[in-house]
Chains A and B, each alone.
Chain A
Amino acid sequence: AQTVTQSQPEMSVQEAETVTLSCTYDTSESDYYLFWYKQPPSRQMILVIRQEAYKQQNATENRFSVNFQKAAKSFSLKISDSQLGDAAMYFCAYRNRDDKIIFGKGTRLHILP
């Protein structure tokens, strides 16, 4: 069975600074997808970024980028130029061959003005 671990329950960053959220996972599959979801106070799950395991190039979406280390089973999220609207719970997630998503327990990100 696959597992996803987020070791940082909470983090804080100064507005306009850069922050990195950590995620590790465990799997025996070779073909899978990884995601970061953002959940603001509205509780809506918003897809931030996704990475296909077969792609070596790290995914980027505007201010959001990942550092995907397949051998180490690590998938961290970097947020550049942090904004107040980035404050939310962030979930790392693994999508397996059966299309099921396994979520980490989340990291609550605070943005300090």
Chain B
Amino acid sequence: DAEITQSPRHKITETGRQVTLACHQTWNHNNMFWYRQDLGHGLRLIHYSYGVQDTNKGEVSDGYSVSRSNTEDLPLTLESAASSQTSVYFCASSEWRERPQYFGPGTRLLVL
């Protein structure tokens, strides 16, 4: 069955370290998204991509970057982790907006 996976599911890191969160989908969707979820804020969009080599900044993109070298993967990199980036991160993908947007299981990141 097609799916969307995230790894790792849990991560503890130290401030200043570079961290990469993986997102992989097997639906061959063009659109992929990264969100973060914090108490009192719901989910907020970090970065998104409409296809290979396309990346765009979302609402809360400072301190994050993404790259899209193939259709299946959109890794999220925290260039220098900060305690304010402690959060739960969700990846999502969709074919286009007429179709559902599917979410991965989430990655819980703790920055100490």
Which residues of A are at the interface with B, using a C-beta cutoff of 8 A? 33, 42-45, 47, 50, 91, 95-97, 99-106
* Contact of A45 with B31 in the complex, beta carbons under 8 Å: no
22 A-B residue pairings within 8 Å (CB atoms): A42-B105, A43-B88, A43-B105, A44-B103, A44-B106, A45-B43, A45-B90, A45-B92, A91-B42, A95-B97, A96-B97, A97-B97, A99-B31, A99-B50, A100-B45, A100-B58, A101-B43, A101-B45, A101-B92, A101-B101, A102-B45, A106-B42
Residue of B nearest to A47 (CB): B100
Q: In the bound complex, how far is the Cα of B73 from the Cα of A90, in angstroms? A: 28
* Contact of B103 with A95 in the complex, beta carbons under 8 Å: no
**Number of residues from B at the complex interface, CB < 8 A:** 23
Per CB-CB distance, the 6 closest pairs between chain A and chain B, nearest first, are A45-B103, A103-B42, A99-B97, A105-B42, A103-B43, A43-B106
Contacts of A99 in B (CB 8 A): 31, 50, 94, 96-97, 101
* Contact of A105 with B41 in the complex, beta carbons under 8 Å: yes
Task: Name the distance in Å between A17's Cβ and chain B's nearest Cβ.
Answer: 26
Does any Cβ of A come within 8 Å of B68's Cβ? no
Task: Name the distance in Å between A78's Cβ and chain B's nearest Cβ.
Answer: 21
Residue of B nearest to A105 (CB): B42
Contacts of B35 in A (CB 8 A): 103
Q: In the bound complex, how far is the Cα of B103 from the Cα of A91, in angstroms? A: 14
Binary contact readout B5-28 vs A (1 if CB under 8 angstroms, 0 otherwise): 000000000000000000000000
Contacts of B33 in A (CB 8 A): 100-101
Among candidates B41, B48, B88, B96, residue contacting A100 with C-beta atoms closer than 8 Å: B48
Interface set, chain B 84-105, CB cutoff 8 A to A: 88, 90, 92, 94, 96-97, 100-101, 103, 105
